[in-house]
Structure 1
Amino acid sequence: MSTPTEIQLRPLTDDVYVAPQLPPEAMAEVARAGFRSVINNRPDFEGGPDQPTSSAIEAAAHAAGLEYRHLPVAPGYQSPEEAAAFARLLQELPKPLLAFCRTGMRSTKLFVMAQQAPQA
């Protein structure tokens, strides 16, 4: 997989990566890098009115041929239910997959929690 030049990616596995906030314009580059899916873990307007909305990112992701899911979670606490929802997305979405939030830490924590959750 080629790494997008302007996007800070951190691999969690061979086919799951995390990144800080991505704008809609980054979706084409994410697709060119070989990703097939994107998960946005950031609630709309968490960072104020200048933060891109999920709908804008989703439209750009679909235009780039990517699967897109919005699983907004608060920065300070990720619940077992949110981790289970993230685990389901990891199972159903095509990989390689890129999850993002403000810094990448929330998505990383969700991934770790999802790995520890009992599989249904």
Structure 2
Amino acid sequence: MKLTKIDNNFSASPQISVEDLLDIKAAGFRSVICNRPDSEDGGAHPDHNLLESAAKEAGLKFAYLPVVPGQINDAQVAGFKLAIDKLPGPILGYCRLGIRSKVLYERAR
């Protein structure tokens, strides 16, 4: 899994799988934020509910804040800021390529 470390509290990643969650936990992350809508690409990627359930089993906190590519608005940034302020860090944010998660984090700071 390719991670882009933004700072000591946040990294961004492309789409993750259930199998990645133990590695995410082992890497020291305490929370995961999904920024990819379940319906994106016809839902060919794992549903956030499946990943949330597996994350909780692995001892990770999980938040679902879906964002459509190229359509990030102020309300979504505010919601993201609330999530990163509330969730224990370090946090891994993911979407299809990791770009939306990175942009949301940068705008929330």
Task: Quickly name the TM-score band, shorter chain normalised.
Answer: over 0.9
Q: How does 1:96-111 map to 2 (within 5 A)?
A: 96-111=90-105
Q: Does 1:11 align with 2:17?
A: no
Greater relative contact order (Cα < 8 A, sep 6+): 2
Letter in 1 for 2:84: L
The one-letter code matched in structure 1 to 2:95 is C
Structure 2 counterpart of 1:78, one-letter code: I
State the Cα distance separating 1:48 from its structure 2 match.
2.2
Task: State percent identity of aligned pairs.
Answer: 39
Q: Secondary structure of the residue that 2:45 maps to in structure 1? A: coil
Q: Which 4+ runs in 1 deviate beyond 6 A? A: none
Counterpart residue identity of residue 94, structure 2: F
Aligned length: 109
1:1-120 → structure 2 map (5 Å cutoff): 7-115=1-109
Please, what is the CA RMSD of the aligned residues?
A: 0.9
Distance (whole Å) between structure 1 residues aligned to residue 107 and residue 16 of structure 2: 23
Counterpart CA distance in 2 for 1:27 and 1:113 is 26
Following the alignment from structure 2 to structure 1, what is the Cα–Cα distance between the partners of residues 63 and 105? 15
Amino acid at match of 1:101: C
Higher Rg = 1
Once residues 36 and 82 of structure 1 are traced to their aligned partners in structure 2, the CA distance between those partners, rounded to angstroms, is 22
**Structure 2 unpaired stretches of 5+:** none
Question: CA offsets, 1:87-113, max 9 Å, x none?
Answer: 011100000110000001101111111
Structure 1 unaligned spans of 5+? 1-6, 116-120
Q: Do the aligned partners of 1:28 and 1:60 also contact (CA within 8 Å) in 2? A: no
